[in-house]
Chains A and B, each alone.
Chain A
Amino acid sequence: MSKKPTVGPALHKVIMVGSGGVGKSALTLQFMYDEFVEDYEPTKADSYRKKVVLDGEEVQIDILDTAGQEDYAAIRDNYFRSGEGFLCVFSITDDESFQATQEFREQILRVKNDESIPFLLVGNKCDLSDKRKVPLNECQTRAQQWQVPYVETSAKTRENVDKVFFDLMREIRSRKTEDSKATSGRAKDRCKKRRLKCTLL
């Protein structure tokens, strides 16, 4: 898939997942253009690219902003497949969206066939704490269970917006260096991982 010429900066592919209306597009637009759009318009799918400096290194980030509402989950397979890291977003004011993350998580793992794929659990709309429906410890418990970081964000106030993207990119980057080591050394780690996941499936 990556036929990209070697000279270009590293490219990290990030997928935004989560139920409809949790603020995936809002987070993306805030990160991309520093803007917050109040009115809600369901996304089908849109792609963004930005050059950023990650720990002193210029990299490119591709963000695939996906639809929260989908008739058939399998449609997502393709873009889950193309992603290198995932921001799994729910709204802390909406318990259903929190519950839905379980399903997203499972599908991603199935498609990617990788237990340790870079993944962040993101509780958005943290500026609306008075309308909070999902207790913080529940979120943290789930993240712990999945062994992923949990971050609360606000696309409106820009709180932690950069953080979630950069944290994810760092994970992707370290995964990539790990992988390249593994492939060069033909290490068994990766095979092991693969096998592990296969067995899981």
Chain B
Amino acid sequence: MLTTLANIKHILQKELFNGSGERVLSVVTVTKTFKKKKACYLCIVTTPPPVPVVTVCIVKQSEQREGEYKKKRTWQLEEIKWVDGRNEQFETHEFDIQVEKTYKWYALNLHERQNFLAVLYKQIQKYVRAQRAEFRNVPIAWLNDKSPEKLAAGRNAEQKNIQDTDDEEEAQEFTALTDKEATELGKLFSECDFAVKDAEQLIEKLSKELHDLDGANIQSVLASEKQVFALMEHIDKAIAEADSFEKRLDSYEEILGHVKETMEKIGGKNAMIEIANNNNIKLMKELNKVISQLDLPHIHQQALDEPDLKTVGGRKAAIAAAQSLQQAMNSDIDPTLLRLEAVQDQRKRFEKWKAKFSGIVSRFMNNLFIHLGNEMGDNTTMSTELVLPNHLSVHRELTPYTELMHWTKAMDRKTYDGLTRVYTTSLSKIYERDIRNFFSLAKLQISEKLRTSREDLDTSASSKKSAISAAPYGTLGVNREQWGPGVENADRERFDSVLEKVLAELEPVALQEQMFCINFFQMDVISPTSKNTQTTLEVLEKSTDSASLLTSPTSASGGGDASGFPQKKIDRQINEEVRKLMIALFGCLEPELVSFIQSFERIDSFYSLYVLVRLTQHVMSAQDTHSFLSMTFASALVQVKRNFDRFMQQQLLSIKEAKVPKRSKCGILPYVENFEYFAQTSEGIFRKSDRRTDMEKWYLQLVNSIFESISVHAQEHPKTPSQVVRMENYHHMYSLLAQLKVPGLDAMKKEAKMRYTDALKVYVIQYFGRPLEKLNLFFEGVQQKVAQGVKETEISYQMAFSKQELRKVISQYPAREVKKGLENLYKKVEKHLCEEENLLQVVWHAMQEEFIAQYNFLEERIQKCYAGAMITLEFNIQDILNFFSDIARSH
């Protein structure tokens, strides 16, 4: 808007006023208030000097052509009566001007309005002499300030300013005489009132005065020369003073520069001194440390040179010395310091001590181990008790040397390994002997007791030979009489208790030894197999992180996790090492245990069941499943399980290969009979064991196999009908399984019952047959006719089924004959069935029912088909019941 203001001022100037030589002082774009007319411009215009005439005019833009402006009205400043700003607020757009009438204007731009009013005021003040227009409601600041727009103008204030000052200067040129000048002039002219008459005289007078004034002026100028000169001199002096002063300042500055340099130098020196001092202190500390660490007290030196390992005091001193030596050798010294010759010398001395002491210890321990081994070997006391001697005394004797062993392990691995070997060889001899004795005693104890019940047990080989013809004891598929010599249940239990004793004895001894070894040989600590001394130069060549691993054993075990060994792995490695040692010590344990077990399994396969249960208990109850003993037991257990499975496999085979008994009645098959003994024995062993599931698996296999074999063998007996064999054997199996109550065999029990009842039904139907065969055939014919459509009441008219024919058939079955037939049948059934199963009554009961059913059927047919013919069988139901009673009474 402001630009348009500037523009419009410029445009109006150029388009309209330049032609007349007038100049625009201020423009305001206005509309008449309340009239929506096109905007027009209210201008303050001045004519060019020397006689500026200021007017206010309205300019309108031509409606036809853009850029053409016309002056509409013009007023002299004198014509303006008053100007009303309406309101002192800047934001007021309206203003009124009273000329011949009141014009109410609405300014489009507030700045334009302000400027216009200010300029108008100024121009009125300047040019209107008489009655000046009154300004109402216009801020006083606008009127007073010479450049009112400065207050409000924003961006183009500067430009405006310049324009403004221009206006000001131009105005100055045409300034009218001031009042004072006017009076002066008046006075001058009054003095020379003649001048009106005589201009020449006036000029003369004036030039004369002017001349005078010039002269006075020159004189005063001349008079002041001296003073100027003096002033000049003063100035010169002052300059010289200033120069000298500057020089002094320069010299001062130079001096200060020197001082600064010197100060800096001194500061540097001080820092150097401090560093040197610190270094000295550090060096001192380091040296102190090295010396204190590498210092081995004299007492210790002596103790190392000539250790007295036999006495308690000497041992203590030696151990202390050895430990301080170890500490010294392992001292944490900066690798660079190790290059010091003194350190190297000291280390060499240490090495010498170490070697010497280690040698002494090695020799001493070596002798001690061998001595102890021999000593223990000498005092063999063959006890009759089944006890595995422990070797606490040896352990007690060796315990004081534990720390020496640890030292040796840390300091001299080779010696340590050697000593471990010596220990194991000398102790393993003892243990081997102990264990052999122990097992032979255990064997003896069992066989002695067995011998009382059986003659030929002591030499298992011969008993085996003699048993070749006989089946092994307990074989399911073979008749019990043909079993080889067996063992009483009581003997089994005795064996079980001896086995328990053996296992219970082994445990503490092995555990004690293991614990001692772990402690004595420090096997619970992983230590490197190479050298373990820090102060050797070789360490330098190794990577530093390996050196950190090779620090003292305690830190290695303490920070095992941190140094990258997971605890599990360490445990496993420890276990592995311990087990190796234990195997070396107890090498003969496993073979002896296995042979002990086997020697009895050879006699009685049922032992394997006992061993399986007992050993499983021990293996399961062991806390440390990775210990040597647990592993040994576990591997023995694997063998036992194999034997057990083999035994069961043999049983399975024997069932399949069983022979049908040759007696006239088949009766109960051997494996069905033997299964009772077998199941009861194994249940007795397994009832509470964790191994039940193993046994139940085999039960299922065995019973399945028995069922299969019953069906197969039922066909093979020459005399007994297969249904009888099936019936009796399944009945027996059902009874057995019901008593056994093995949950896993429940389905088999039901199966047995089902097979038994099926066999019973088939047997009754087959063997009871039809004692009244011809009657049956006759009525079957009748039934056929009926089926063909013959009425039942008309059957008797058929030739083949006449009453005569029926009577003929009936006459063939007199009561006497029927009774005889039943008696024979009873005898036959009695012959088939065996005593043991006691099924005669059951079968006979079924047969009685069957016969009555047949009788009832025939009677019913006769009543239906031959009603009124007065035909009956030659016996009635009461006769039959009497026959049954008679048969009952005759047995």
Contacts and interface: CB of A to CB of B under 8 A. Distances in A.
A44 B764 CA distance: 14
Interface string A47-82: 111100000000000101011000111110111111
A79 B841 contact: yes
Contact of B845 (A3, A33, A78): A78
A111 B841 contact: no
Contacts of A62: 838
Given A47-B838, A49-B836, A71-B852, A77 B888 contact: yes
A32 interface: yes
A47 B885 contact: no
Contacts of B888: 77-78, 80-81, 111
A74 B846 contact: no
A74 B884 contact: yes
Contacts of A32: 735, 738-739
Chain A interface size band reads 20 to 34
The 10 closest A-B pairs by CB, nearest first: A74-B881, A77-B888, A78-B888, A81-B888, A45-B845, A79-B841, A77-B885, A33-B738, A47-B838, A45-B842
Contact of B839 (A3, A44, A47, A111): A47
Contact of B835 (A4, A33, A44, A64): A4
A180 B842 CA distance: 29
Given A45-B842, A45-B846, A74-B884, 17 more contacts: A3-B835, A4-B835, A32-B735, A35-B738, A44-B842, A44-B845, A47-B838, A47-B842, A49-B838, A64-B841, A66-B845, A67-B845, A72-B852, A74-B881, A75-B848, A78-B884, A82-B840
28 contacts: A33-B738, A33-B739, A44-B842, A44-B845, A44-B849, A45-B842, A45-B845, A45-B846, A47-B839, A47-B842, A48-B735, A49-B836, A49-B837, A50-B739, A62-B838, A64-B838, A64-B842, A66-B845, A73-B881, A74-B884, A75-B845, A75-B849, A78-B848, A78-B884, A78-B891, A79-B845, A81-B891, A111-B885
Nearest to A1: B891
A32 B840 CA distance: 20
Contact of B735 (A1, A49, A82): A49
Contacts of B741: 33-34
Nearest to B887: A78
A151 B100 CA distance: 154
Interface of A: 1, 3-4, 13, 32-35, 44-50, 62, 64, 66-67, 71-75, 77-82, 111
Nearest to A33: B738
Interface string B738-768: 1101000000000000000000000000000
Contacts of A67: 845
A50 B889 CA distance: 27
A45 B848 CA distance: 12
B881 A78 contact: no
Interface string B712-741: 000000000000000000010001001101
B735 A78 contact: no
Nearest to A82: B841
A94 B662 CA distance: 51
DSSP class of A's interface residues: helix, strand, loop or mixed? mixed
Contacts of B885: 74, 77, 111
A45 B738 contact: no
A137 B888 CA distance: 36
A36 B804 CA distance: 58
Contacts of A1: 891
Interface string B864-891: 0000000000000100011011011101
Contacts of B778: none
Contacts of A79: 841, 844-845
A44 B841 contact: no
B843 to A, nearest CB: 9
Contact of A47 (B738, B739, B837, B882): B837
Contact of B844 (A13, A35, A78): A78
Interface centre among B731, B735, B888, by most A CB within 10 Å? B888
A80 B845 CA distance: 11
Contacts of A72: 852, 877, 881
Contacts of A35: 738
B777 to A, nearest CB: 26
Nearest to A48: B735
Interface in B53-81: none
Given A3-B835, A80-B888, A47 B849 contact: no
A146 to B, nearest CB: 22
Nearest to B886: A77
A44 to B, nearest CB: 7
Nearest to A80: B888
A46 B756 CA distance: 11
Contacts of B835: 3-4
A187 B591 CA distance: 71
Contacts of B848: 75, 78
A34 B738 CA distance: 9
B541 to A, nearest CB: 82
B884 A46 contact: no
A34 B739 CA distance: 8
A75 to B, nearest CB: 5
B209 to A, nearest CB: 164
Nearest to A64: B841
Most buried by B among A50, A78, A80, A111: A78
A174 B289 CA distance: 106
B826 to A, nearest CB: 9
Contacts of A111: 885, 888-889
A86 to B, nearest CB: 14
Contact of A81 (B842, B849, B881, B889): B889
A44 B840 CA distance: 13
Nearest to B849: A75
B841 A75 contact: no
B852 A47 contact: no
Nearest to B845: A45
Contacts of B836: 49
Contacts of A50: 739
A32 to B, nearest CB: 7
A65 B411 CA distance: 87
Q: Find the residue from A4, A35, A67, A71 having the highest chain B CB count within 10 A.
A: A71
A153 to B, nearest CB: 20
Contacts of B884: 74-75, 77-78
Contact of B841 (A33, A45, A73): A45
Interface in B825-840: 835-840
Nearest to B853: A71
A45 B881 CA distance: 18
Contacts of B739: 32-33, 50
B695 to A, nearest CB: 20
Contacts of B840: 82
A8 B315 CA distance: 78
A74 B845 contact: no
Contacts of A44: 842, 845-846, 849
Contacts of A77: 884-885, 888-889
A67 B841 CA distance: 12
A178 B590 CA distance: 63
A71 B738 CA distance: 31
Interface string B170-181: 000000000000
Q: Which of A45, A49, A81 has the most CB of B within 10 A?
A: A45
A76 to B, nearest CB: 9
B845 A47 contact: no
A164 to B, nearest CB: 20
A79 B842 CA distance: 9
A78 to B, nearest CB: 4
B675 to A, nearest CB: 15
A35 B740 CA distance: 12
Given A32-B739, A33-B738, A78 B882 contact: no
A35 B877 CA distance: 40
A67 B888 CA distance: 17
Interface string B226-260: 00000000000000000000000000000000000
